[in-house]
Every structure is written in structure tokens, then in C-alpha cells.
Amino acid sequence: AQSVSQHNHHVILSEAASLELGCNYSYGGTVNLFWYVQYPGQHLQLLLKYFSGDPLVKGIKGFEAEFIKSKFSFNLRKPSVQWSDTAEYFCAVTDYNNNDMRFGAGTRLTVKP
Amino acid sequence: EPEVTQTPSHQVTQMGQEVILRCVPISNHLYFYWYRQILGQKVEFLVSFYNNEISEKSEIFDDQFSVERPDGSNFTLKIRSTKLEDSAMYFCASSGQGASTDTQYFGPGTRLTVL
């Protein structure tokens, strides 16, 4: 079964710093990849997704992610974070054989003003 | 923009009681899901539902759990006899196509507290 690893449990950055959150998955077949964000007290919102095509995916709020198939990775990046990016970020995977979505453990991002 | 809605936002119940969590998926979506998130842990898949039947379920989704689409708009999760360890945030999601080809949109969640 597929699994998703997010290696950073808690990341603390100052405003304007660059961000990269790691995500690795274990499934060897064709996958769909997602990053969701959960702001404090709010529900999961889709940041970006990869199904096929250009492996560099741009999402909302200046976020992007790069699918590197050889590394089974889908890292999330943002060149300059803002205080309002403080949230929990979840990487998730679906594959072509199942109707479930597997989530990583999440990375809590704290951006200091 | 259409949204998935869930009620109640917070449910407190006594151990052994039955609870029903309600969800209204996005209206033209055909696939429905339940997930849970125990405090401090990852979001875990419970079940997916399509064409009035369960299409996938995880090992968490045992006989204490059931899902139903009682009418054209609601999608419910029932826990027959709640346990302390059922305390979690429960998220409903829906998608137009199956999870393998489409994005799931999540509701705001129901926080279930079992005393």
C-alpha cells in the first residue's frame, strides 16, 4: 500500500524566507499528488495538485511543487513566505487503483512576523 | 464557489452512544469520502462511497461504522457505539470523478468528543 512521508514536523521561518517542505511517497505506479493547507481553525484547502504533464505545478498564493518521479518526491516551495502562511501543510497521494487518499503526517509551518 | 458542508461542527457524546455525522457534498459530485484526524495525528482515510455503495474502506472502518446517502443531498457517517478512541475530527469530502482521476474537496469537519 502507498504511504506518504513528510519529514519536517515543524518548520519555523521569518517572513520573506524561502520555504521548501519535503514529501515522499512509496507507491511505484501512477499517482496523483496533492498539497492541502489547513489554516488554524479552518478546513483542508487544496493548494495545488499534479495529475500529469509539466512536473512543476503552480498553485494558489504563490506556492509551487515539483514532481520528481525518480525520487518519489513532490516537494512544496514558496520563494518568500508571509505571516499569513502559518498553517499545517499536508501532502497527499491517490493512485489509479484505489479510491482512497493517503496523507502525510503534516508539517506545521510557523512564520514569524 | 460550491462547498462541502458538515453538521454539527462539534458533537459531544457519551461512550457507547450512537452518533450520526452529516455532510452535504458538492451537488454534482458522485464520489463521497469520510476521513478522520485524531488530535496531533495524520488525516486517515475511512471510506469512499459511489453509486450507493461502499467502494473502498480502511481497516479503521469496522462494523461500528456505517455510511448512508439517505436522500439526494446528504451523506452520513454513523458510529453505532462510540468509544473514547473515536474522538477525532471527521472530514467529509466529495469529488466529481473517482479519487484516481479527480480532486477531493473537503468540508470543515465535525469535531467528535467521546466522554
Condensed to tens digits (0 to 9), the pLDDT of residues A33-90 reads: 999 999 987 888 999 999 989 999 999 999 999 999 999 999 999 999 999 999 999 9
User: Residue B30: which of B109, B99, B77 has the closest Cα?
Assistant: B99
CA A105 to chain centre: 11
User: What is the average pLDDT across B36-65?
Assistant: 92
Closest approach of A5 to chain B, Cα-based (Å): 11
For A99, name the nearest residue in chain B, comparing CA atoms only. Answer: B99
Closest approach of A70 to chain B, Cα-based (Å): 21
Q: Does A103 touch chain B (CB under 8 A)?
A: yes
| Position A1 pLDDT exceeds 70 | no
Separation between Cα atoms, residue B115 and residue B100, nearest integer Å: 37
Separation between Cα atoms, residue B2 and residue B6, nearest integer Å: 13
Separation between Cα atoms, residue B112 and residue B115, nearest integer Å: 10
User: What is the average pLDDT across A16-42?
Assistant: 91
Tens digits of per-residue pLDDT, B31-46?
A: 999 999 998 888 999 9
Burial class (CB in 10 A: 0-12, 13-18, 19+), A73: middle
For A30, name the nearest residue in chain B, comparing CA atoms only. Answer: B100
Q: Does A45 touch chain B (CB under 8 A)?
A: yes
Give yes or no for a contact between B81 and B64, defined as CB atoms under 8 angstroms apart: yes
User: Residue B27: which of B76, B75, B65, B67 has the closest Cα?
Assistant: B75
User: What is the average pLDDT across B68-77?
Assistant: 91
